[in-house]
């Protein structure tokens, strides 16, 4: 069957680059779309054609259905690939594409409606004979429902976005006192990330592993499972490290889980790529949700199978049958992927770190792959997801794959922003991770990242605000060595300097020093450690506050972050309001 002539990729960043490359290898022209902030982005440079969406935020640009439909018509594209995130699991968007006479490279809108909605997907899985974690069968509308559920099933309880994934809009509620604020926060974050605010409840398991199964189905009634991935290394309910196959995972359970995943897919008339997610604990697995799209971590499955999953997506969307039957799919060795995010992992806080990448050197070597949407000189914006790159390695054993990943991460150089690479190295070097004793809660509770610091100063210089660490290379008796120097910091630009210059200096200072806390400054000058938008101010002038109290909520990179007080006292000034945009280092509240 003939393939498409031109594919519009309704996304940005590394996934847009990833899809474009496979399409071009298949002889298909590619069309990129871009916001005002992404005019010169890598995905724009890679595509054969590019069209402006306008706007800066996701709502103004990549979530603008009308504009995307206009560009589809102008470009003459006969297919659209949604990538992941944005519109990838939006049935109304998929339907608008097919109604325009363009092929949507993904499941039918009807399947997205069933499985893209996490509530109805639980019901569909149950009808297919696959049991899930105890939870609600409808969207919740009031925090009292959380209290009732928690008192019935036990605390903690998980609030989850009904139309999302990737941990966006998820909150863990440990008691009834937390219920109201947690629901409000989850609904706000879900609305901004997915355009829908509905949430549902689930029992929160104590020490589970997150295992997901890659499935494919075609329009001829065939379905297969490609293999599973272990995604248990998470923070803020978002994945940090993924691997295939799942380690210490019985083959009998693997087969049963794969068969269950195919049952779930076929029961809803599914087509194209999908991922059925499970929680695995004490030898049992429970259906969690189905992601009706390509996953961020699909490269580890490609590495162990030798298959191009984007190519499979395009072939199936064009009406072709599955390229392989279940018995023909083979898996070899072990693959690991780490997500290099623009976050400062100091103290295990993982604070967003948007900014311009001054230098980016990728790792190289055997069986080493880097998927990225950025190069040196590109800017990671506060308005979008903070994924900078995915580094993926393969080896014949898991132990060798871990060593290969450590080598690759040490080769990677990224300057200008903080990244999660130090956290990845700490996790990979931890014996509990190596011995597969971790779970979805391990990174935040037992991995020891609370002691992680970036650019630490010697003990004698701790607390000295006037010095910073600089690394230089020298020769000593003919031997090349790296030396750490502790030099006076550069003076900040004067108040008369352009705003852009002051912002760049703030970013540089934050990048060099590392963020001390979410609130910054026991001096009473409460500053923000990242660019973002104020969502909610929780205090007012004259109010008494305590150490650790949340002062305001800041949204950055599609995530909400609580800014905490580092001292007790009285609020003297509140310099921001909800909706204000702030920059790294800006003082937002003064406490005396």
On the 0-12 / 13-18 / 19+ scale of CB atoms within 10 A, 365 is exposed
In CATH terms, 516-591 corresponds, of 3.30.470.20, 1.10.3720.10, 2.40.50.100, 3.40.30.10, to 2.40.50.100
In CATH terms, 333-454 corresponds, of 3.40.50.300, 3.40.1280.10, 1.10.287.3510, 3.30.470.20, to 3.30.470.20
The three-state secondary structure class of 155 is coil
Show contacts of 182-190: CB within 8 Å, 24+ apart: 182/143, 182/146, 183/140, 183/143, 183/146, 183/159, 185/553, 185/560, 186/159, 186/160, 186/161, 188/535, 188/560, 189/161, 189/555, 189/558, 189/559, 189/560, 190/161, 190/162, 190/163, 190/164
Taking the domains of the chain in order of start, what are their residue ranges?
6-105, 109-117+206-332, 134-203, 333-454, 455-501, 516-591
DSSP string covering 76-127: T-SEEE--SSTTTT-HHHHHHHHHTT-EESSS-HHHHHHHTSHHHHHHHHHH
- pLDDT by residue for the chain (592 residues), tens only, comes to 689 999 999 999 999 999 999 999 999 999 999 999 999 999 999 999 999 999 999 999 999 999 999 999 999 999 999 999 999 999 999 999 999 999 999 999 999 999 877 778 888 898 999 988 888 878 998 999 999 999 998 899 999 998 877 678 899 999 999 999 999 999 999 888 888 899 999 888 889 999 999 999 999 999 999 999 999 999 988 899 999 999 999 999 999 999 999 999 999 999 999 999 999 998 999 999 999 999 999 999 999 999 999 999 999 999 999 999 999 999 999 999 999 999 999 999 999 999 999 999 999 999 999 999 999 999 999 999 999 999 999 999 999 999 999 999 999 999 999 999 999 999 999 999 999 999 999 999 999 999 998 765 565 555 555 666 677 888 887 878 878 777 766 544 443 444 444 344 444 444 333 333 444 445 788 988 877 889 899 999 999 999 889 999 988 876 788 898 988 999 999 999 998 888 878 899 999 9
Q: Do domains 109-117+206-332 and 333-454 have the same CATH topology?
A: yes
| Contact status, residue 202 vs residue 228, Cβ threshold 8 Å | no
Determine whether domain 134-203 maps to CATH 3.30.2130.10.
Answer: no
pTM for this prediction: 0.80
Q: Which residue has the tokens 């400062």?
A: 344
What class is the 109-117+206-332 domain? Answer: alpha beta
Residue 115: Cβ within 10 Å count: 27
Structure tokens at 59: 């709502």
Determine whether domain 6-105 maps to CATH 3.40.50.20.
Answer: yes
């Amino acid at each position: 069957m003939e393939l498409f002539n031109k594919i519009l990729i309704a996304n940005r960043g590394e996934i847009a680059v990833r899809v474009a490359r496979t399409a071009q290898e298949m002889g298909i022209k590619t069309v990129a779309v871009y916001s005002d902030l992404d005019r010169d982005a890598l995905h724009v440079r890679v595509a054969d054609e590019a069209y402006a969406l306008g706007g800066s935020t996701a709502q103004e640009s990549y979530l603008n259905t009308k504009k995307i439909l206009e560009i589809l018509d102008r470009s003459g594209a006969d297919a659209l690939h949604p990538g992941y995130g944005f519109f990838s699991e939006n049935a109304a968007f998929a339907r608008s594409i097919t109604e325009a006479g363009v092929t949507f490279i993904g499941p039918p809108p009807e399947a997205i409606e069933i499985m893209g909605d996490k509530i109805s997907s639980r019901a569909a899985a149950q009808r297919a004979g696959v049991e899930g974690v105890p939870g609600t069968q409808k969207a919740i509308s009031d925090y009292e429902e959380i209290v009732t559920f928690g008192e019935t099933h036990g605390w903690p309880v998980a609030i989850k976005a009904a139309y999302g994934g990737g941990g966006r809009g998820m909150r863990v509620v440990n008691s009834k006192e937390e219920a109201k604020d947690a629901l409000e926060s989850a609904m706000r974050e879900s609305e901004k990330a997915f355009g829908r605010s509905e949430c549902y409840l689930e029992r929160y398991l104590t020490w589970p592993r997150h295992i997901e199964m890659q499935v494919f189905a075609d329009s001829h009634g065939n379905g297969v499972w490609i293999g599973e991935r272990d995604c248990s290394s998470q923070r803020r309910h978002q994945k940090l490290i993924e691997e295939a196959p799942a380690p210490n995972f019985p083959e009998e359970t693997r087969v049963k889980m794969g068969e269950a995943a195919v049952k779930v897919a076929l029961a809803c008339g599914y087509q194209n790529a999908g991922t059925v997610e499970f929680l695995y604990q004490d030898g049992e697995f429970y259906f969690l949700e189905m992601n009706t799209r390509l996953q961020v971590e699909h490269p580890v499955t490609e590495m162990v199978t030798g298959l191009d999953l984007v190519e499979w997506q395009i072939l199936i969307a064009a009406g072709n049958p599955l390229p392989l039957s279940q018995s023909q799919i083979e898996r070899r060795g072990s693959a690991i992927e780490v997500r290099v995010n623009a976050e400062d992992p100091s103290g295990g806080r993982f604070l967003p770190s948007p900014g311009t990448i001054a230098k980016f050197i990728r790792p190289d070597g055997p069986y080493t792959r880097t998927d990225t949407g950025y190069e040196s000189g590109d800017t990671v914006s506060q308005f979008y997801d903070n994924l900078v790159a995915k580094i993926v390695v393969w080896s014949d054993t898991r132990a060798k794959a871990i060593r290969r990943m450590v080598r690759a991460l040490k080769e990677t150089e990224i300057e200008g922003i903080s990244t999660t690479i130090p956290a990845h190295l700490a996790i990979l070097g931890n014996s509990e991770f190596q011995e597969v004793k971790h779970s979805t809660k391990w990174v935040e509770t037992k991995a020891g990242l609370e002691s992680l610091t970036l650019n630490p100063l010697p003990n004698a210089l701790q607390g000295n605000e006037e010095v910073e660490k600089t690394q230089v290379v020298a020769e000593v008796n003919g031997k090349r060595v790296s030396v750490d120097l502790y030099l006076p910091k550069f003076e900040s630009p004067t108040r008369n300097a352009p705003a852009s210059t002051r912002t760049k200096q703030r970013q540089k200072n934050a990048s060099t020093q590392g963020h001390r806390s979410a609130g910054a400054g026991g001096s009473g000058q409460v500053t923000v450690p990242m660019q973002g938008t104020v969502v909610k101010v929780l205090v007012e002038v004259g109010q008494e506050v305590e150490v650790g109290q949340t002062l305001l909520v800041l949204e950055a990179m599609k995530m909400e972050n609580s800014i905490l007080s580092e001292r007790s006292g009285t609020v003297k000034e509140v310099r921001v309001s909800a909706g204000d945009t702030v920059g790294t280092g800006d003082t937002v509240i003064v406490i005396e």
